[in-house]
A and B are shown apart, each in its own frame.
Chain A
């Protein structure tokens, strides 16, 4: 049978799923947890605790008051030592709550047992409120606040709930392992989300390089009404929202529109699990699965990590050879961000910590563009990266807009294939920022 995949462009980088068979281990609690107030897309949350206050796991630290924002809860128990700017993974200082860890005491109303609660008691409205209260964001990497996704505009019906278990980035295995170990909980989570979105059908898209997960999910999916598992051809960037919808149900979201415009809501498998925990067990988002992997890691592993744990704490657990490491990435090799400081904290968006060998950490030498058109043929959005790169650099924002620079999903496929090693995406990002600014300020003049 021919496997489904998306239609335009795409690449297939070596998968390197080194930590594929590593069971999820609990990472030890940090001594000091640093919890940034902006771990999600949108406005930073407003801090609600004071210096010196004692907090438990699950205590609300900061409230997401803006429309697009998310609550932040204490991932540890202990004393709030400081509220000050701390260096985040990109080197910028961001307001963070620093907690000195004492013991591991959880809030009383959180169900910490291991029982799987399958019965969904809450109503649609309460489910949404619970998702909001527990500060759930998309755990695939974009960290978009989940409750906003389920606020479907009036008069628009959603037919499908699409669950993203693709994990198309090389190296990362956190979702794979989660599907294997917490499949049952995830299924309940998906039922919860189906109730919240009011849909009858849910499709879990999983790339075919995870046969165990597919088999496992298929086995248990029968018990849950309306959930199907769809194996997909391995191709990057299938985990992109638009690409996944195209691959699964052959609908393309028009430029500037949302998944709900084509009758879909898309969520990650990690989010499904987090929603299960939030709705069924009243547990806020305080921990997540992080893959620590790379060619210089002796024991590539998947850890369950409390948010706020410094990334440098995880490295010795996986026996990383830092001598030969030239680059540490927060996320996958294609879209992850290179870390500036290793003591940056694990946040809601940290799906992996990837170590790159020293020899491979530098970019290839830049040469002239030879107009081979390979960037264009791999672009999943059907854009012309070579052209966008040039006009973005020249500051032709108007033309950037008509050439649809804002459609770029920054997947990096163009740079990956470019034989001349040109920094296409760097230029396109610059162009996107400038063009976006131009579009936003246009109405005001």
Chain B
């Protein structure tokens, strides 16, 4: 009786010790020396794994950044400048400063502005619809209203406006770029948020000649260059009958907004202008601020 207990004890202990030794050697052999900084950085990151930085996830971002030893070219759009500053001491380098950005919808082809010419019935995915038709409004550049961008948003920063059938970006957008990549027509763009959320941009990407684009949509950019003439800062380019405002150069003077004959240039978060008697009522600007 006693013997059996003793032998059991010995055998089990022997197995335990043996296993421990094997484990130890295996652990030694496959040991990966990892910079403790990676853990520190990873901990500080938001952990949403949204891919907005261009890496597969937060961990990959931390690894690449620590390995590179610099913060140049690395930016977490979710955490923004504050986060990058807090990461700087870990790596012992200067944090790059980047203007905060937001996704902007460069289309205003709502059901009112771009009247549907037929009814679409079937799968509503934008990436499929765009291969089948130009879109119910007839514009082959504009928003299809399928909401693929909204589905791609991990931060609950977008929703579809049922009235206009266009997506709306909310102010909590972190500029992770997911919606920009999801849109098969490249309508969304990341632009600087601007001081106090003030932004001016061309809400159209129609590259057709004016008369053609006007057939489909009342608020399309017709490439008339009126905005270019009035801009004192060379911030506006017109290519393929389409104006584009460079947000780096734009000083938010709002002159272009006034002269645009189709109201294709949108201003956001500005105080209303002093009313002018004969001025047509401005196209309702979908405020981003909720």
Contacts and interface: CB of A to CB of B under 8 A. Distances in A.
CB atoms of A and B under 8 A apart anywhere in the complex?
yes
A264 B133 CA distance: 35
A85 B134 contact: no
Interface string A86-127: 010011110000000000000000000000000000000000
B109 interface: no
B272 to A, nearest CB: 38
Nearest to B125: A430
A90 B122 contact: no
A91 B138 contact: yes
B132 interface: yes
B135 interface: yes
A423 B138 CA distance: 23
A433 B131 contact: yes
B128 interface: yes
- Chain B interface, DSSP helix/strand/loop, else mixed: loop
Contacts of A430: 123, 125, 127-128, 131
A17 interface: no
B131 A429 contact: yes
Interface residues of A, number: 20
A332 to B, nearest CB: 17
Secondary structure of the A side of the interface?
mixed
Contacts of B134: 87, 90-93, 340
B212 A427 contact: no
Given A90-B134, A92-B134, A362 B117 contact: no
- Kindly name the residue among A87, A91, A93, A434 whose own CB sees the greatest number of chain B CB atoms within 10 A: A91
Contacts of A434: 127
Given A340-B133, A430-B128, A433-B131, A92 B121 contact: no
Contacts of A429: 128, 131
B208 A85 contact: yes
Nearest to A326: B119
B123 to A, nearest CB: 4
Contact of B128 (A90, A91, A362, A427): A427
Contacts of B25: none
18 contacts: A87-B138, A90-B132, A91-B117, A93-B140, A93-B212, A340-B117, A340-B133, A340-B138, A361-B121, A423-B122, A423-B123, A426-B123, A429-B128, A429-B131, A430-B123, A430-B127, A430-B128, A433-B127
Given A93-B208, A423-B123, 17 more contacts: A85-B208, A87-B134, A90-B134, A91-B133, A91-B138, A92-B134, A93-B212, A337-B132, A340-B117, A363-B121, A426-B125, A426-B128, A427-B123, A429-B128, A429-B131, A430-B131, A433-B127
